[in-house]
Structure 1
């Protein structure tokens, strides 16, 4: 039986250097974390400059409430992730009157409907109309909300004809009915298709697809 080899002698100086290097790395990491935390706190403590779009938002709300009626605007705010675009949640029953106001009022003139999207928030469905004023170089997002059991909102197609196919797509994929739409039928799925594929509770007939 061969005798066990003795472990190599410990290089005390090398061990000390390694320990000092590890401690230095830990200190740098702690200092960096502290600096980041202090910077984040300083950002929270520093009051934000008011957005230049705040006046636009307040003007839109005031014009709608004064013209259509108090309570027409359910919520309002600025989308910080999208250049502070004003966003308004409108009472669905007032949407036809509000849409004409947005399009025709001299201070607004939102004549161009850029896009329409639908979202399933599980407890309710939401439709968002993105409007652009080519005259004033301004934009706004109008949101309508409806329940999931019998989802329905007035169509914007009589005001902006470009809403036609967008609303048909939302009707097809989310099952939201648009009252007053001139030709509301499925645009992507067959007429006898069961369910609406963009709903979060949608169960495909074939789970492999």
Structure 2
């Protein structure tokens, strides 16, 4: 199997999944698509089984508090033989941060999903052992969420009058 282009891969995905995906672009040559939580497992399975995307590079999340769907779960998968990568994004509402687990497709997704849960609070339904992996177990917050001000407003050491202003 030779190298395939982003356009060929996108055409294949559109032919298979139709309006369940939308293209966001290909910044720096990395094809980026968006889909829904209902379609993510079928798309990931199709990519692995039929398109030879055998390497799951990363699963992570982002938090844009100003958006209607503020949480995004991002998957990076790689077709080593074809020399092509793809980024898949799924956006979730703040009151429902559930998404199906990909650990049944790639065993390596287990730890990546645990890390994403630990830092963003994304709940991967069906995960065999979803618990904190890097932070302490009794931590109640999710540190990568943008829910707190960047600086303590009560700090007095940064007041202007200390600097002659």
State the Cα distance separating 1:78 from its structure 2 match.
Answer: 2.4
Residues 80-124 of structure 1 deviation map (CA, whole Å, 9 limit, x = unaligned): 2x2x2111111111222222111101xx11111011121001131
1:118 aligns with 61
Contact 2:6 2:84 in 1 (8 A): no
Contiguous gaps of at least 5 residues in structure 2: 156-165
How do 1:18-37 and structure 2 match up within 5 A? none
- Per the TM alignment, residue 186 of structure 1 is displaced from its structure 2 partner at its CA by 0.7
- Tell me which residue corresponds to 1:146: 92
Residues 160-199 of structure 1: pairs in structure 2 closer than 5 A: 160-199=106-145
**Residue number among 82, 88, 91 corresponding to 2:33 in the alignment:** 88
Larger Rg: 1
Distance 1:90 1:133, change over 3 A: same
Number of corresponding residues: 146
CA contact (8 A) 1:103 1:109 kept: yes
Give the match's secondary structure for 2:102: coil
Calculate the aligned-residue CA RMSD, in Å: 2.1
TM-score, normalization: structure 2?
0.79
Task: Give 5+ residue unaligned stretches, structure 1.
Answer: 1-51
